[in-house]
Chain A
Amino acid sequence: MKRVLKHFMMVLSSVLVVGGGPSAASAEEKLVVSTWGGSFRDLIDESIAKKFTAETGVKVEYVTGGTMDRLNQAKLAAGKPESDITFTTAHVGWLYANDNLFEKLDLSKIPNAAHLVEQAKISPYHIGAWAYVYTIGYLPDQLPKGVSFDSWEGLWNPALKGMISSPDFDPSHVIAVAAKLSGADAAHWEAGKDKLKALKPNYKAFYTNDANSQQMFATGETPVQVVLSMNAYYMRDQGVPIKLVIPKEGAVLGVDTMGITKGTTKADLAYKFLNIALDPAVQAQIADLKKGSPVVDNAKLLPEVAALPGVFTTPDQWAHQTLIIDHKLRAEKTAEWRKWFAENMMAP
């Protein structure tokens, strides 16, 4: 038994040494960014990181993963963060802030933040990097006659029975819309419960991620979706003839944000990175590459990009084409909304 225990301790220490030993590369100066993988990582790399490395000589490395995976990682690594900057959604950013995982931002160190639109100033801890909307997207050739989406009411048209889908991971968009159509707002979402239940027959399915949404559009399974604008434009570029509309009540605004991870030893570099992210030319590039809306008021976009629904370039568009759910409220209410939605809308 003693011998087994001795071997056990040797194996354990070997694992710890191999897994936890410092690598040679760690000596080189670098800035670590926590972000989603795939096209979002590429977007940050091509637009912000490229300019950052050119100006500072510091390389950018990435920790990638899903929104919640990275949040959990950050919590486990609290005090000794694995990244210096974190990209996440506005409402999940509040979870970081509430759990003391973000540094309080000193906007005087981010000169470009002077042009930040009000809707992108999320909290003293995180600010917008780009914006998007969740709105109605549809395949025109599969839309029944007489259906129009000038208003969100169009989604309730009985002709759309068994034709629509929306995300299963976040029902806040339709909950906010139903509340608005019922004369209330997201804080008083209960007013829209009956309205929501009336939408149930029109649902065919619920998509689980952007790829799943793409698949449901591409196969025509759900020709009408409450869809992420950036994802819809990606699909359109791939040849899926999606049309996106901004209903008169506005499209549900989403903001992807950035914050400086608490405990970073490279705060100065992190501030430089954030400033470059808000550079008007970089913001225009983000809009061009991924069709994300700029979050500063001085970005000069290509006319064809500026004309896209969900890309906002004027104060009037920000004010009248967006339906905003308070991000902090959303962080607090998501579980309650999700539970109600699962029990009343998704359940057979």
Chain B
Amino acid sequence: MTKRPFLGWFVSPAGLVALGLTAAMAAVFQFSMRAYIPGSLEVGGFTLQNFAALVRPLYALAFWNTILLCFETAAFTLILAYPLAYALVRTRSSAVRSFILIAAVTPLFLGEVVRTYSWMIVLGNNGFLNTLLVKLGLVARPVQMMFTSGGVIAALVHVTMPIMVIMLAAGLSHIDRNCEKAAESLGAGPVRVFLTITLPLSMPGIVAGFSTAFAWTFSAFATPQLIGGGRVSTVSTLIYQLGFSSFNFPFAASLSIVGLALSLAVIALLKQATRPLERLASAT
């Protein structure tokens, strides 16, 4: 049997973190099944009332809004990130590669709050975008972009872009270029090569990037809270409001548990739905 003398040292910190996370999740779970006592931090006896209350229109709408927001953000990020990742992997110029890499990854070095405030300056009625549109005569009055789903999605796309570019680039760099060359030698044009060879073979990167962007958006808080201005309700903003404004921790905990379950379920469904595409990629 192979000796692994450092296994214990390597596994222990991860085990410790896992233990802490499990304990925290267990605490959230038990909170979700306790009754709320107005005016007190103490919680009451066990109840399922918190979960039953989640079917009210406001909360059902928040779940629906969140899923929609996640899909739209992941989809727009994919559309914008793919050409960038493609250029990053395929360009022969190291200067262009460095430029794309820096441009794509820089947003990661800014905090979410800083990025969000920057977008507020861009999207405001007197912001950069509206000033430009009005000065160019494209619109007579500023277009309302703040406090809308569109504004929230624009900022979230910026947040998720770096991770999507990195994942797509990893996927694209693993494609065997000989497959594309073989297709070209058989008479396929660039568009056909891309649609029948490159795109299917980059499916693992697309699925990984899309799933990550989806999960990341699901837990986004500062962006929907600040750019949404209370007009775009998501699961994370509701959890904050219920827990930290209303002191109703049991209800906030039940929302967290259902949010987590929903997020896992959607990602599992996504994985299931894209399995044929991944299989196609392996077969190509």
Contact = CB atoms under 8 A, between A and B. Distances in A.
Interface of A: 3-4, 6-8, 10-12, 15, 66, 68, 71-72, 75, 94-95, 98-99, 165, 168-170, 204-208, 212, 215-216, 219-221, 328, 331-336, 338-339, 342-343, 346-348
B222 to A, nearest CB: 9
Q: Which of B40, B238, B247 has the most CB of A within 10 A?
A: B247
Nearest to B228: A205
Given A6-B8, A8-B8, A335 B147 contact: no
Contacts of A215: 117, 120
Given A169-B241, A338-B245, A7 B226 contact: no
Interface of B: 7-9, 11-13, 15-16, 36, 38-42, 56-58, 61, 117, 120-121, 124-127, 146-147, 225-226, 229-231, 233, 238, 241-248
Given A4-B11, A8-B15, A95 B39 contact: yes
A98 B16 contact: no
A98 B39 contact: yes
A336 B53 CA distance: 13
Contact of A343 (B56, B126, B226, B245): B56
B146 A342 contact: no
Nearest to A11: B12
Contact of A205 (B147, B243, B247): B147
A221 B124 contact: yes
Given A4-B11, A169-B241, A221 B226 contact: no
A98 B38 CA distance: 11
A304 B218 CA distance: 50
Contact of B225 (A15, A99, A208): A208
Contacts of B242: 335, 338
Contacts of B36: 335
Contacts of A216: 229
Given A98-B40, A207-B230, 17 more contacts: A7-B8, A8-B11, A8-B12, A8-B16, A66-B244, A68-B247, A98-B41, A168-B241, A168-B245, A221-B125, A333-B38, A335-B242, A335-B247, A338-B248, A339-B248, A342-B241, A343-B58
Contact of B245 (A8, A12, A169, A205): A169
B58 A68 contact: no
Q: Which of B125, B229, B247 has the most CB of A within 10 A?
A: B229
B157 to A, nearest CB: 21
A219 B40 contact: no
A44 B281 CA distance: 64
Contact of B41 (A7, A99, A169): A99
B246 A168 contact: no
